[in-house]
């Protein structure tokens, strides 16, 4: 881990949803060049923590800083890849238009995209291997293609921090391999990535660091942590711990 100031720092973060604690006293740091995998059981607070970093849910305690700024002032630094079901795939737009929507903040409302915006879209499409399909309606896409659209949409704003919520869920093996390679290259280029995932094998292969979350961070370290039965037991429970150690 770098000794430099982290790009993302969450300190003592707590979130209460529906009167119940969803995240409690959580500490997390992401440095430049990190690909940090956030793993935990269903209901552990992984998506809630991402939304706290985005400033989309109020904090009951603690604070979040992105390059020294609170989330509301750091939105230009962050790209977000939500779970696929959160996007309106029936909207009548093509792939290029969907990716361009990721630049709305820089373009502004009711303004036309400029040359730099179109160039950013083309670069993002090339990165995810969809340049040749740019005019295909998003309603006609497979699950893997839709996931690549969401990643391209987030990358179109040239973020320093990329937040990914379960990017491998329901995608085919070629898409997963493409995304794994892309995320590793982005981290190698100095981007910071925070990714929630249930895929222990993918996290072990790709992530530079992992954090185990069960409402709070149970353990944090290198990917070898996923082979530690004691830590996996604390985060997931007996069955997953045994499976991870096997």
Q: What pLDDT score does 140 carry? A: 95
**Mean pLDDT lowest among 77-81, 171-175, 210-214:** 171-175
Model confidence over 130-161: pLDDT tens digits?
999 999 999 999 999 999 999 999 999 999 99
Q: 211 forms bridges with which residues in the sheet?
A: 38, 220
Q: Which residue has the tokens 């309603």?
A: 139
How many CB atoms are located within 10 Å of the residue 105 CB?
10
Q: Does residue 164 contact residue 53 with C-beta atoms inside 8 Å?
A: no
Q: What pLDDT score does 198 carry? A: 86
Q: Give this prediction's pTM.
A: 0.89
Q: Does residue 87 contact residue 145 with C-beta atoms inside 8 Å?
A: no
Q: What pLDDT score does 154 carry? A: 96
Mean pLDDT across the chain: 90
Q: Does residue 153 contact residue 102 with C-beta atoms inside 8 Å?
A: yes
Q: Which residues of 151-166 are buried (b: 16+ CB within 10 A; e: fewer)?
A: bbbbbbbbbbbbbbbb
Q: What pLDDT score does 15 carry? A: 96
Q: Does pLDDT of 67 surpass 80? A: yes
Kindly report the CATH class assigned to 8-89+159-245. Answer: alpha beta
Extents of the domains making up the chain: 8-89+159-245
């Amino acid at each position: 881990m770098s000794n430099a100031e982290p790009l993302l720092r969450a300190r003592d973060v707590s979130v209460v949803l529906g009167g119940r604690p969803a995240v409690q006293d959580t500490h997390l740091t992401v440095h430049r060049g990190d690909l940090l995998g956030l793993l935990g059981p269903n209901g552990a607070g992984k998506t809630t923590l991402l939304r706290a970093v985005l400033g989309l849910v109020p904090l009951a305690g603690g604070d979040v800083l992105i390059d020294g700024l609170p989330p509301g002032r750091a939105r230009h630094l962050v790209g977000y890849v939500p779970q696929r079901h959160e996007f309106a795939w029936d909207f009548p737009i093509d792939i290029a238009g969907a990716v361009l929507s990721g630049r709305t903040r820089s373009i502004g409302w009711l303004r036309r995209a400029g040359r730099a915006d179109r160039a950013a879209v083309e670069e993002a499409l090339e990165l995810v291997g969809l340049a040749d399909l740019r005019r295909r309606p998003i309603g006609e896409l497979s699950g893997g293609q839709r996931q690549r659209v969401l990643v391209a949409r987030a990358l179109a704003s040239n973020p320093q921090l990329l937040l990914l919520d379960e990017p491998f869920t329901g995608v085919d093996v070629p898409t997963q391999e493409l995304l794994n390679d892309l995320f590793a290259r982005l981290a190698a280029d100095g981007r910071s990535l925070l990714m929630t995932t249930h895929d222990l094998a993918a996290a072990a292969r790709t992530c530079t660091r992992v954090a185990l979350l069960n409402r709070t961070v149970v353990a944090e370290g290198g990917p070898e942590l996923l082979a530690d039965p004691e830590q996996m037991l604390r985060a997931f429970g007996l069955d997953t711990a045994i499976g991870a150690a096997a």
